Amino acid sequence: MSKKILITEDSPTMRAMICATLEALGDFDIFEAANGFEALRLLPRESFDLVITDINMPDINGLELVSFIKRNDQYKTIPLVIVSTEGSERDREKGLKLGANAYLVKPFSPEELQKLVEKFLE
């Protein structure tokens, strides 16, 4: 059974890059959300094995999405990786403190993301 990954990223180009990176790694069912609202709509529909989210998105940003997922008993065990242009230590600490399992700063290499995905989907 394929693992299910939810990618929440408002940039179509970055979403496509993340999808291509994951497809090169294995057979995953990849779901795409262009913003936090779409992610919140998809969460109850599938049983996700991993969530990858950007921070800077309109409406519900990635940190709000992380907070929602990690405070919800139904979703709090889903590993969560933040990918963001926000690279300061303060931003990183904030994301991890909210419950993200990893924080990857853009631009990142495909290998960095693949290692994280393999780590959380073992």
Give the model confidence (pLDDT) of 70-117 as tens digits: 999 999 999 999 999 988 899 899 999 999 999 999 999 999 999 999
Q: How sure is the predictor about 49, in pLDDT bands with cuts at 50, 70 and 90?
A: very high
Instruction: Tell me what pLDDT residue 86 has.
Output: 87
What is the CB neighbour count within 10 angstroms for residue 39? 25
**pTM of structure:** 0.95
Q: Are 81 and 50 in contact (CB under 8 A)?
A: yes
Find how far residue 120's CA is from the centre of its chain.
Answer: 12
The pLDDT mean for the chain works out to: 95
Q: Angle at the Cα of 43 (from 114 to 102), degrees rounded to 5?
A: 35
Instruction: Tell me what pLDDT residue 1 has.
Output: 76
Region 57-70 average pLDDT: 93
